Amino acid sequence: MTKTVDLPLRVHEDLVKVSEELSLMAKKPVSPSMAVDLLMEIYRAHLNNPCALDAFSQQLASLNIMSPGEFDEYWDEPTKMQGTKRKAKTKKQ
């Protein structure tokens, strides 16, 4: 059974780009929903490594993450939140 998910436009556009990149790599069509599934598998495989899981957990805990409402507002209407300078990004290792 399929479910509909509302994504901010920028997130959707990025997902479409990722699915296009995966299509080129696979030399087969990869839909955005297939790309999400592949990305979740990659995420799970990466976090099966205890060292990676620990580092990711520590990094995530130290981030100043927006609430879901703030995130949706930021991505749907970025000009309204430009003054706050809060962005949904992660630190590079």
Residues 6+ apart with CB under 8 A from 8: 71, 72, 75, 76
pLDDT in tens, 4-33: 888 888 889 999 999 999 999 999 999 999
Examine the pLDDT at 88 and tell me if it is beyond 70.
no
Question: Which value, in Å, is the radius of gyration of the alpha carbons in the chain?
Answer: 16
Q: Give the pLDDT band of residue 92 (cuts 50, 70, 90).
A: very low
Question: DSSP H helical segments within the chain, as ranges?
Answer: 9-26, 32-47, 50-62, 68-76
Q: Give the pLDDT band of residue 91 (cuts 50, 70, 90).
A: very low
The whole-model pTM stands at: 0.65
Q: Let me know: does 32 contact 19? Beta carbons within 8 Å.
A: yes
Tokens of 39: 């990305």
